[in-house]
Amino acid sequence: MTNNSERRLPGGGYHIVADPAVFAATAAAFIGRKIATLIEHRDASIALSGGTTPGPVYAALAADPDLDWNKIDVYFADERIVPYDDPASNYRLVRETLLDSVQIPEGRVHPMPVEALELETAAEAYAETLPDRLDIIVLGLGTDGHTASLFPHSSALKSEQRVAVVEAPIEPRRRMTITPSVIAAAHLIVVLAQGASKTAALEQCLSDVRGVEDCPARLVRGGIWILGRDTVEGLAVRP
């Protein structure tokens, strides 16, 4: 899958993509193959994150000829509490990079209800629409070790809800996010991280010095990580 060998993480695995020019295509090929295998037998459900890393991956995924988007439900791992057409909106990112380029029924697209007046009630309603177990959740890694919009020391890390409204320490501050129970139930977690700016967070995530409170991405150590070589190169302890 990549020009580097696959290695194992505790319970998961990771692929190092040596050439940044093929990171998006490599990640999209991996995710696309997982989805294609699922939809051979049944409909699939995926939840997508925002940020800068996944956009090119979603664009490459949109070009995957093996994916029948009539059989795929697209949910969101988190969302900023901004209008859907706001440049900071994850929905807008996914719409522009993926949804507008594939034939997907509108009923298969499930944006988080961030334009609702009662956000807490809307979050609970969204949680009801989520499958008990999502097939694939695509997550990123923040430089502070957050993933989705689960930030260090956030009360959402202990939430009984499956979807929470949170206050992030970075702009946009108000967000809606899936919580650890949704992540734990997923069949497959794919974490995308590239760039040297993520090395420290990855180090924290891999070491046993810090817990989930300090580094929420430790929740997904058991996932499949697709890492840029520049993220891994500076690691004190290579995975």
Q: Site residues (CB under 6 A) for ligand 6PG?
A: 49-53, 77-78, 90, 140-142, 146-149
CB of 70 to ligand 6PG, least distance (A): 26
Task: Give dist(CA 42, CA 71) in Å, integer.
Answer: 7
Closest residue to ligand 6PG in the complex (CB): 140
Nearer to ligand 6PG, 45 or 49 (CB): 49
Find the shortest distance in angstroms from Cβ 17 to ligand 6PG.
14
Output 77 or 114, the one with its CB closest to ligand 6PG. 77
Closest distance of CB 161 from ligand 6PG, Å: 18
140 or 239: whose CB is closer to ligand 6PG? Answer: 140
Q: Which is nearer to ligand 6PG, 132 or 171 (CB)?
A: 171
User: Is the CB of 147 or the CB of 159 nearer to ligand 6PG?
Assistant: 147
In whole angstroms, the minimum distance from the beta carbon of 150 to ligand 6PG comes to 8
Nearest distance, CB of residue 133 and ligand 6PG, angstroms = 20
* Three-state secondary structure readout of the chain: CCCCCCEEECCEEEEEECCHHHHHHHHHHHHHHHHHHHHCCCCEEEEECCCCCHHHHHHHHHCCCCCCHHHEEEEECEEECCCCCCCCCHHHHHHHHCHHHCCCCHHHECCCCCCCCCHHHHHHHHHHHCCCCCCEEEEECCCCCCECCECCCCHHHHCCCCEEEEECCCCCCEEEEECHHHHHHCCEEEEEECCHHHHHHHHHHHCCCCCCCCCHHHHHCCCEEEEEHHHHCCCCCCC
CB of 193 to ligand 6PG, least distance (A): 7
The residue among 133 and 173 lying less far from ligand 6PG, judged by its C-beta, is: 173
